[in-house]
Structure 1
Amino acid sequence: MSLIGATVITTCSGAISDWLGQRPMLIASSVLYFVSGLVMLWSPNVYVLCLARLLDGFGIGLAVTLVPVYISETAPSDIRGLLNTLPQFLSSGGMFLSYCMVFGMSLLASPSGRLMLGILSILSLIYFVLTMFYLPESPRWLVSKGRMLEEKKVLQSLRGTEDVSVIYVL
């Protein structure tokens, strides 16, 4: 179900993020992760669990498609490639840690599959706080909407310099 959700949302995530912006869509991704984790934790039957996995797939699809685009649009050119490898590296590391956690929990006298799935909500809160409070809107998106003053302020805060003369190809 997660793969179905991710596939469905990736087909339209670019158009929606061009309309609403990357920041709101990344916040939506974190909310979808949080809600799906809670629903998986408390799902009364397999149908609700499948619905929660579908929501989880929507969150995954948004994050997987929008994070590299966001990094490409905000990162300085000299470290852009390095920063774009981080999502893949952290995703692989997260999968490894989740496998270790599942293995460790399987050694318990009464392992709880619900708890394993519900831990997603805790991690999604960290994702939500980071996107909500520390993530500015993409400068490219601001330019595409004609919000040049906001774009300049965002670039100045990202670059740490007053001179942010950049030419965008839209």
Structure 2
Amino acid sequence: MYSFSSQMEGEGKEISTKNISLKLCKPEKEIALQLNLTPNDQAYELIRLRLADGKPLVYNRTYLPEKIFSNLILEDLNQGTLYGILKKKYHQISVLAFEDVQAVNLTKEEANLLHVKENTASLKINRKAINDKNIPIEFTQALARGDKFVYRSKQYNE
């Protein structure tokens, strides 16, 4: 599966993540549907920036079901990678991901976070990750800088 960290490291870049916030919320209907949540279920919303060589490349808004990841705290996420924490603390491994990628222009707020001008071209990536029990464990909405980010996909036929 695609990994921002692996791709950037493969290009010889120093990667880092700035976790901006983590809060428990009642997600919007579209997000709740992606995670198979009932109207009463909550999810953690993690907002973060992914950087390469100190420059912001991707703005992520990630949703994680509270019923699977109870007691998730920002300090845990500051100690390692998201998938590393999900595996180590919660024994959750994503084995399948669905992604939709489309071209969009950044709003003023999004552009400020990514240190570019308003209306700059960007890739909008929606990703749903599924665990080994066929349960959605993550839904991420990402905006990747179009001038610095190349989305690579490897495909094969069985």
Same fold (TM over 0.5): no
| TM bracket (short chain) | under 0.3
Higher RCO structure, 1 or 2 (CA under 8 Å, sep 6+)? 1
Higher helix share: 1
**Rg larger in 1 or in 2?**
1
